[in-house]
Amino acid sequence: MPAGVIGTAADLAAVDLLDAGFHTGDPHAVWTYMREHARLHRQEYAPGRMFCSVTRYDDVCRVLGDHDAFTSERGTVITQLGHDDIASGLLMTSCDPPRHTEVRRPLGKRLSAGAVHAMESGIRHAVDRVFADVPHDQPWDLAERALRLPMVVAGRLLGVPESDWDNLIRWAAMAAAPEDPDFAIGARTATLTVAHHQIFSYFTELIRSRRASIGHDDLLGHLLSIQAGAQPLSDIEAMYNSYSLLLGANATTPHTVSGAVLALARNPGAWRSARDDEARVPGLVEEALRWTSAASNFMRYATRPTRLSGGIVETGEPVVAWIGSANRDEAVFPDPHTFDITRHPNRHIAFGYGPHYCVGAPLARLTFRVVCEQFLRRFESVEIIGEPQRLRSSFINGTTHLRVRTTGREQA
């Protein structure tokens, strides 16, 4: 059973699901209560304006998967609640089929499992570089280092010059977690505005210079060359989708790595089991994805009155689908709060569900498997030093600082 106590509707009424501080603690006790007693929950987010929450696996899959009843076109990120998405219809994430399919199909080809398979040795080399010079027997910050992983993989794939990585990492972190003290540069809205402005200007400029030259065999070059429907993407569509790829990779991958190491350090049996038999790593990868659920939620808006297991959602209501809760639903996962790398089946939805299922999932899975393999090959043991510092965010479940002490393996 997760930590924390919640036993009544009054306890739940006192919880603010939008409060980043709530998520920095342990939300699982509240989600466990909601799955049982408040399957369709409503909370006010502005005077007289409510949003709904679903926490059960089946309801979360229904909301994410049924684009007729639950549209993505008004925004899908909880930090946008109350403001319609300015990128609606232009950004793949904020489109419904058929437009969504027109963009996703050609883009997805370059990110399919078959396409990314060829990148494995390059990824292994890049991952090795990130962890190459960690001090043995001395504390080092794993979460800080993991922040670089998405750029060495997805940034390189996208075709972003290495000299720009540090800026992009910072802006992506500001956009994903504008309330976190490590990334905020003032109030939440100011941080978001600056982050968006910087990333949008950056990609607008990069796309302009790319249009002026030819022969770039990277993901951005691919984005600029695809036919979505009968037309190529406009510059603004290419810019928004580059932003989405950057954020999709940066906001999630590092936190899944930190979450995995934290879980392994707290479950030495799982560490030994995966270290002694690499065939267990794929199971570790899936369980760490479920366990961490780095994308804690995504949002949709109801297009018509629709029945879910806890009641009816009315037309126009925003509905937050809590992925982190669905991935601990006891109706689907026996002993959901146990970290079990032999869990089978493991039908987690850390990458979402339905038409918007993460287009970067094959790349994320491959990267994460390589990270786990290299980590287990390199280190004999890992010890957590002090309290991990959690990312302050209602959207991303993450860690900003995770100090560890590792001892090397002879063969590393």
Number of C-beta neighbours around residue 25 at 10 A: 13
Nearer to ligand HEM, 6 or 349 (CB): 349
Give the closest residue to 92 by CA, choosing from 77, 72, 109: 72
SS3 287: helix
The footprint of ligand HEM on this chain (CB under 6 A) covers a number of residues equal to 27
Nearer to ligand HEM, 253 or 346 (CB): 253
Q: How far is the CB of 6 from ligand HEM (least distance, A)?
A: 25
Q: Which positions from 188 through 247 interact with ligand HEM, judged by CB under 6 A?
A: 244-245
Nearer to ligand HEM, 131 or 368 (CB): 368
Assess 350 for contact with ligand HEM (CB under 6 A): yes
Q: Which positions from 244 through 263 interact with ligand HEM, judged by CB under 6 A?
A: 244-245, 248-249, 252-253, 256
Q: What's the rounded Cα separation, in Å, for the pair 331 and 132?
A: 42
Q: What's the rounded Cα separation, in Å, for the pair 299 and 43?
A: 14
Query: Given the rule CB under 6 A, which of 169-177, 224-232, 258-266, 353-361 is the region that contacts ligand HEM?
Result: 353-361
Nearer to ligand HEM, 6 or 248 (CB): 248
Assess 358 for contact with ligand HEM (CB under 6 A): yes
What are the CA-CA distances from residue 270 to residues 137, 156, 202, 280, 410 (Å)?
21, 32, 43, 9, 21
Residues 57-96, one symbol each (x = binds ligand HEM by CB under 6 A, - = not), give -------x-------x---x---------------xx---
**CB 126, CB 100: distance < 8 Å:** no
Amino acid at 108: G
Number of C-beta neighbours around residue 54 at 10 A: 30
Task: Enumerate the H helices of 82-185 as residue ranges.
Answer: 99-109, 113-117, 120-131, 142-146, 149-150, 156-158, 165-176
- Pairing type for strands 40-46 and 49-54 reads antiparallel
Assess 327 for contact with ligand HEM (CB under 6 A): no
- Which of 27, 318, 360, 398 lies at the binding interface for ligand HEM (CB under 6 A)? 360
111: its two tokens: 């990110």
Nearer to ligand HEM, 195 or 295 (CB): 295
Binding site for ligand HEM (CB under 6 A): 64, 72, 76, 92-93, 104, 154, 244-245, 248-249, 252-253, 256, 294-295, 298, 323, 350-352, 356, 358-360, 363-364
